[in-house]
Amino acid sequence: MDQSSPSTSPAQTGLSNRGHLLTEQPNLNSQTLDQLSPLELVDLFNQEDAQTIRAIAAARESLAQAIELTAAALQKGGRLFYVGAGTSGRLGVLDAAECPPTFCTPPELVQGVIAGGAAALVRSSEGLEDLPDDGAAAIAHHKVHDLDVVVGITAGGTTPYVHGALEAARRRGAQTIFIACVPADQAKADADVAVRLLVGPEILAGSTRLKAGTVTKMALNILSTGVMVQLGKVYGNRMVDVSVTNSKLRDRALRILTDLTDLDRQAAANLLERSGQRVKLALLMHWSGLDAEVGEQHLATHQGDLRQAVLAAKGDREDRG
């Protein structure tokens, strides 16, 4: 946990001078950036981007804590909110938007909140990040409560909008996660879990859409996927809760069924139809012999965990002799 707080809030400190922040410092390896050939530039990016892998490894324990905390909250009926401004906000919205098609989650389960709203996704609204009251207002608008988890994302660690949102979320009893690319002594935060992704100065000084953006996307990939695994949305390494909403996803669903069973593609298509286009239910029906209605009941009893539902169905069948 990273629960120490400065004598004044990050929103009140001298934000006009952020040169001490790791994300704002000049990168000694790119001092001749404007003189590099295209190939040299690509090589330099490749060299610097390797730091994202090391940063994720260094944050492994805090990321695991974030997964555990979030999964427990969602199992109790809570929601996950990503809050950020600029690139950080866009990355949160992106990760949230990908959860429904990948894991068949309702849109309200994982939500992205960005300073400036939807318009800020396609047009820079970075000036709005300096308004902590707007962050607090967003938390109130979404009626955040004590079962929810709010993830504040800020590369430099000082964004007032994010800190305002986190403070408001804590007042409402929500659990909080803080993701930043600077060490704790440069930007403190009162949060249940602090994930520090230290990738060092950017090739283009201060442009945190580069390494900081990349490592943040990696961390959010791990967080949301890890949570969904914990919630039983995955069987083996297959997305068995995939939402079959277009031809690509239908093809993926059929491949999952044919790969995990002895069915050919036509038989898999028939099974998918009988299951109401639900891959998880189709697998349970095939492996247990249950019809769709009873299979649904089994999945509900086991909180959607396919492996547990299959084991229980087999146990019931053995008990009946």
Per the residue annotation, which of 48, 129, 202, 296 is the catalytic one?
129
Which among 165, 159, 153, 174 is positioned nearest to 219, based on CA atoms?
Answer: 153
Tell me if residue 129 is catalytic.
yes
CA angle at 97 for the pair 117 and 215, rounded to the nearest 5°: 90
Query: Any alpha helices (H) in the chain, and if so which ranges?
Result: 38-58, 60-75, 86-103, 132-141, 160-171, 211-230, 247-260, 265-274, 279-288, 292-301, 306-319
Q: Which of 24, 48, 61, 98 is catalytic?
A: 98
H/E element, 81: strand 80-84
Give kind and range of the element (H or E) at residue 176.
strand 175-180
Q: For residue 136, which amino acid is it?
A: A
DSSP string, 284-301: HHHHH---HHHHHHHHHH
Distance, in Å, from the CA atom of 309 to the CA atom of 208, rounded to the nearest integer, reads 45
Question: 318 an active-site residue?
Answer: no
Q: What amino acid positions are annotated as catalytic residues?
A: 98, 129
